[in-house]
Structure formats: C-alpha cells, structure tokens
Structure 1
Amino acid sequence: MKQLFFAVLLAIGTINVNAQDATHVAQQEVKVGDILQIGHLDAPRFKHIDFPRPNFIIKKGGIANYKRVEGYKVVVTSIKEKKDGKLQVKIKRADGGRFFGSHLVVSADLKDALASGELRRI
C-alpha cells in the first residue's frame, strides 16, 4: 500500500514539474522588445490574436481588412501570465503605425498563436 501511495505521489509531482517547466520555457522564448511577425491566415479572422471586430474598427475610422496585417512585424510590449496559465502578450507594430488605421496595441495568447502560426519568431 505504501509503495502504491509513493508511486502515485511521484507521478503527480512529475506532472506538475513538467507543466511548470513548459510555462517557464515559453516565457523565456519571448521577451519584451522581441520582434515577431504576423503569419498567414487561413480562416476569415485570427483566432489567437485579439484583433477588434470589424464594427469597432470601422467606428474608429479604420478599414477592416484582416488580410492586410499578414506579414507585419510586431514588437512585444508586455507579457502577462493569466490565472489559467496562459501567457498574454501585448503587441504593437514595429514601424509605429496602427493596426487597421485605428488601434495601436492588440493582445494575443502567446503559446496558441505561436503554435498555430498566427505569430512567428523572426
């Protein structure tokens, strides 16, 4: 019985160490000031980069064309770990312009955006 208890305890400890290590590694990969590139979009909208909806872009005087942002170089301005363990980054355009002519900064889920190809490291 003691051996089973220690085996379960060891397994749980190993899983927790691996989960914490993955979060730490992803955070080390991207730092504030790093330059990323917005990747190619297969769907009508980006899923992991939180661009505003088209009606908000139009209300602010911008043009809601998500294909235009493909290939933009962006700079990471802040990194924040949310309560659920996801890393949220704020990005702005590297050339100082606005996204869609209306928004300076947008947020993105770092791990999922890098995994799906919406953001790429340069």
Structure 2
Amino acid sequence: MKKLFFTLLFLGLCISMNAQDQPKIGDILEINEPYGQQYQYVKLPKLNILKKRGVVNNYKSVYGNKVVVEDIKTKKNGTTYVTLKKEDGSNFFGFLSTIKASYEKAIDAGELSISK
C-alpha cells in the first residue's frame, strides 16, 4: 500500500513539474548567444539574407533581447513552437516583427532562457 501511495505521489509530482515547463502567452524569454555560429532552434534569417538586405552580417544584435511569447502551437508529436516578438516592440533586424522557435529544444540548447 505504501509503495502504491509513493508511486502515485511521484507520478503526480512529475506531471506537475512537466506542466510548469510549458510556455504561456505573455511569458518573457531572453535570446542567448548560440553555441555554434548559427541558431539551430530559433528561426532567424540566414546571414546571407541579412547581408543582402544591408542590415548586418552577424546575429550579435539579438543577443540578450527580451522577447514575449505571442503564440503557441503544439504539433501532434508533442513539439511546441512559439512565436516571439520583441518586448520593446521594435523589429528584429529592422524588418521582422516576429520570429519562431522550437520551445523545448531552444531552452535545452541554451538559445532561449526564461527571463526573470
């Protein structure tokens, strides 16, 4: 009986911790510097596109930007995608109002972090 109780208690805690990891509209996140040269899970324009537009030739302008979760989509496979806009209302690179990211993968890779 005790084993069943502790098993159910453990499962309940796991489910509640997993539920807390889900984003909500209005959550504030921060874009971090990627470990490689490019972002893997935050979908930004390729560097050659930015260079052709004459904007910049690197992603340094987005490092440390605070972004707000504007929309959330969960696919059938359980992957959660978020649409992000800048907290200050300006555009990314002067022409993108929103960007998208694979939420869990971007958090795990350190490309996004939950802002405090």
Which TM-score band applies after superposition, normalised by the shorter structure?
0.7 to 0.9
Quick one: distance in 2 between partners of 1:23 and 1:53? 33
Q: Answer yes or no: is 1:26 the counterpart of 2:21.
A: yes
Pick closer, same or farther for the CA change 1:40–1:54 going to 2, 3 Å. Answer: closer
Q: Give ranges in structure 1 of 5+ residues lacking alignment.
A: 1-16
Pairing partner for 1:41 from 2, 18, 34: 34
Pairing partner for 1:114 from 100, 107, 113: 107
Select the structure that is richer in helix: 1
Quick one: distance in 2 between partners of 1:60 and 1:23? 41
Per the TM alignment, residue 24 of structure 1 is displaced from its structure 2 partner at its CA by 4.3
The code of the aligned residue for 2:26 comes to G
Q: Deviations over 1:1-29 (max 9, x none)?
A: xxxxxxxxxxxxxxxx9xxx5874432xx
Q: Give ranges in structure 2 of 5+ residues lacking alignment.
A: 1-10
TM-score (norm 1): 0.72
Quick one: distance in 1 between partners of 2:107 and 2:70? 16
Pick closer, same or farther for the CA change 1:61–1:92 going to 2, 3 Å. Answer: farther
2:48 aligns with 55
Q: Deviations over 1:61-116 (max 9, x none)?
A: 53242122110000000000013220000001111111111211010000001111
Mean alpha-carbon deviation: is it higher for 57-66 or for 40-49?
Answer: 57-66
Identity of aligned residues (%): 37
TM-score (norm 2): 0.75
Equivalent pairs, count: 102
The structure with the largest alpha-carbon Rg is 1
Q: CA RMSD in A?
A: 2.2
1:93 aligns with 86
